[in-house]
């Protein structure tokens, strides 16, 4: 159980408690995550999770990604059920060479694998999160059926419940799910996914190396991470993909499957942010059916 005082403490107090070091400063109005300076000058990021299990899921995801020894992630310096303290990553400008290395490292992360589809990170909860939306990590053996049941249809229902999709619009997603065995391409082993790989979660370090933050890590299809990276734009994406293909070539026809893999993040955004994303999801679904 979280102590009531801990639930309402400020980021500086949480950072001091979790790292055992005095805090000498904090950036005013930085929100969550907040930037805090520890005694000695080290700057750290302090994040509060309001939903039960959110911090546990994120910490487990960061540890699981780090264990692959592929793409770097910020070190976790302390955490409890409510708060997480990580190292601050000084950022620089994206560049083509870093993008190429990132693509190769992302391929290595995926190749580290997962015990099964829907696998939660070790010590991570089955009931996890992608952003502010719930995400259930449920085991599966067959990607098309698992993806339909646990990454598409729950968010279709959620969008209908929130009024961002009409009930008569659900049929197009159900048709895509029925055709997924034919649309999915060759079967692949479960990949170790970041799970929420949009550009905002890609930090271009000042040292020329990329770090990934805010994972929704789980075992899934590697093309899902790549599709999400393309959905919201990524600097030097052509170099990222070139590095990936150099390290681990994708199955033929992967470009035609991007929209199918983008259904998951688009529907999550429809649940969280409204009709505009629902319309994008409908367009992606109709395009998949027309292919």
**Residue-by-residue DSSP string for 129-154:** EETTEEEE---BS-HHHHHIIIIIHH
DSSP 3-state of 27? coil
pLDDT of residue 245: 98
Instruction: Please tell me the distance from the alpha carbon of residue 80 to that of residue 47, in angstroms, as a whole number.
Output: 11
Instruction: Please tell me the distance from the alpha carbon of residue 109 to that of residue 32, in angstroms, as a whole number.
Output: 27
The distance from CA 250 to its chain's CA centroid, rounded to whole angstroms, is: 20
Helix (H) or strand (E) holding 192: strand 191-193
pLDDT of residue 1: 41
User: Are the CB atoms for 73 and 213 separated by under 8 Å?
Assistant: yes
pLDDT of residue 4: 46
User: Are the CB atoms for 160 and 82 separated by under 8 Å?
Assistant: no
Task: Annotate 89-134 with DSSP letters as a single string.
Answer: --B----HHHHHHHHHHHHHHHHT--SSBTPPPTT--SEEEETTEE
* Helix and strand element counts for the chain (H, E): 11, 11
Q: Give the chain's domains with CATH numbers.
A: 4-87 (3.30.200.20), 96-290 (3.90.1200.10)
pTM summary value: 0.94
pLDDT of residue 8: 66
User: Are the CB atoms for 222 and 188 separated by under 8 Å?
Assistant: yes
Please state, as a whole number, how many other Cβ atoms lie within 10 Å of the Cβ of residue 66: 17
**pLDDT digits (tens), the chain, 291 positions:** 444 445 568 999 999 999 999 999 888 655 679 999 999 999 999 999 989 999 999 999 999 999 999 999 999 999 999 999 999 999 999 999 999 999 999 999 999 999 999 999 999 999 999 999 999 999 998 999 999 999 999 999 999 999 999 999 999 999 999 999 999 999 999 999 999 999 999 999 999 999 999 999 999 999 999 999 999 899 999 999 999 999 999 999 999 999 999 999 999 999 999 999 999 999 999 999 998
């Amino acid at each position: 159980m979280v102590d009531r005082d801990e639930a309402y403490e400020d980021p500086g107090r949480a950072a001091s408690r979790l790292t055992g070091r005095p805090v000498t400063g904090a950036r005013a109005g930085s929100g969550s995550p907040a930037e805090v300076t520890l005694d000695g000058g080290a700057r750290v990021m302090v994040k509060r999770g309001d939903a039960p299990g959110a911090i546990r899921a994120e910490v487990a995801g960061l540890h699981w990604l780090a264990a692959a020894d592929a793409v770097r992630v910020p070190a976790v310096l302390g955490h409890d059920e409510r708060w997480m303290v990580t190292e601050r990553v000084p950022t620089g400008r994206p560049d083509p060479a870093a993008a190429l290395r990132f693509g190769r490292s992302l391929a290595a992360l995926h190749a580290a694998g997962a015990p099964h589809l829907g696998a939660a990170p070790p010590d991570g909860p089955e009931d996890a999160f992608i952003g502010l939306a719930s995400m259930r990590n449920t085991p599966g053996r067959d990607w098309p059926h698992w993806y339909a049941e646990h990454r598409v249809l729950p968010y279709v229902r959620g969008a209908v419940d929130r009024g961002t999709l009409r009930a008569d619009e659900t049929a197009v997603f159900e048709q895509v799910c029925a055709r997924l065995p034919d649309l999915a391409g060759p079967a692949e082993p479960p990949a170790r996914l970041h799970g929420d790989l949009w550009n905002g979660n890609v930090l271009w370090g000042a040292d020329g190396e990329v770090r990934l933050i805010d994972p929704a890590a789980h075992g899934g299809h590697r093309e899902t991470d790549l599709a999400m990276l393309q959905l919201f734009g990524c600097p030097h994406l052509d170099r990222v993909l070139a590095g990936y293909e150099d390290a681990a070539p994708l199955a033929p026809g992967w470009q035609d499957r991007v929209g199918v893999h983008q259904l998951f993040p688009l529907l999550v955004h429809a649940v969280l942010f409204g009709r505009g994303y629902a319309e994008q999801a409908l367009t992606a679904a109709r395009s998949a059916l027309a292919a």
